[in-house]
Chains A and B, each alone.
Chain A
Amino acid sequence: MWIKDEIKERLGSKVIDWYQHSARRIYFSIQPRDIKEVADILFNELKLRFAIATGQDTSKGLEIIYHFSFDKSGEIISVRVLLEDKKDPRIDSLATLFPAAEWIEREMWELLGINFIGHPNLKRLLLSDEWPEGKYPLRHEK
């Protein structure tokens, strides 16, 4: 049983551009303000597993792709958000929905400078204490 059709139906107009790369690889975008609601539906209601999130610096802004796995069918559902304001990128934390998001949000916070609102423990995960404030290793700016 594929989960993708159910997701599409359940999320309705929140889905911006749906792209199916192959049978088990689906990508779509949502507005950053919808992330908590969408993640709640995927994780708690439709029982997808949170695999990880990919943060990246693009020319349009900072992008986060939340990868969810539906293990019964092997589908990976990747939910994309774009944070256009690189000076003050912020988005709701998912760590309150599921603790598995705690580490990766800390990582994206320190490596890309994205602020996760409501995160219970937003402190460095990988960088040492000596690393200078406000310098983000995965940002592409010179």
Chain B
Amino acid sequence: MRKYHFLYMGLGIAMLCAGVLASLALGSRMIPLQEVVRTLFGDGGDGLATAVVLERIPRTVFGILAGASLGVSGALMQAITRNPIADPSILGINTGAALFVVFGMSFLQMSTLQSYIWMALLGAFVTAIFVYSVGSIGAGGMTPIKLALAGAATSAALSSIVSALLLPRVEVMNAFRFWQVGSIGGATWSAVTTVLPFLFVGLFIALIISPQLDLMSLGEELAKGLGVHPGIVRVLGTLSAVTLCGAVTAVAGPIGFVGLMIPHVLKILFGPQLKWVVPMSMVYGGAILLFADVIGRMLGSPSELESGIVTAFLGAPVLIYVAARAKGGLSRHGV
């Protein structure tokens, strides 16, 4: 089996490289590949092609980071909640982050990216805790259906509050629309460097705790016997998952379904072990988001279709597939 794992790993890395090249080369202005490579190695000259490629670098870098973070965030959430459909967008976390950002813009006169990020993180945490607790109330604890419905309902409720806050405030609406698009296209170097620490910490924690999470899936008693502290691992995992998706949302707005589809595809390729799935989520997540972004640029040309829309269109069938494959009632551990 190991042999195949390395094969799939190579495939993922190849896809990521292809995604990077496509993201730099394709768009409303096509740049030939040799130009792209020449620019990357620093001898592109001062032509238009070079300028375009340089312009596309920040969004490409952010695309890799954002895709990696969203993929890992989804994998962690699915493992911790033991729920096959946990995803930042389904749990309404993106909308929560959006609501807090709008609140900050409307009432606290916030206008810097730094402050948006903190608001988005706060919103992400509050919403995550809220949705999770609503979804766990009652007999049988948390089930996929309860969680999904709690997320969908919360998300619907929060987005109408967002529109009510926005409608009377034209200037906030303009600022927010710019933010709300769910696209990696608006990423700048300063945005990337601002969120970078959050993403690194989140990804680092995820890598460290994934072997422990694997042990916990054997049963909590057994994991305790092997020296794991399930409580600590769960708290760290939640922190990491929410930080990752909150920070990405702060820059790019809501990008859904990456976190849902990546772990499911990877579990088919690599089996259920998180020590493979988590690192590979970074590679494949980055690749998918880059491709979604490129597809959006091609479809929407001369303007562009936001990457979040493309990922939703690609990812929603995975949700349908997971749900349709379930036998009878979706049980707590099932599907």
Specify whether A and B are partners.
no
A residues lining the B interface (CB < 8 Å): none
B residues lining the A interface (CB < 8 Å): none
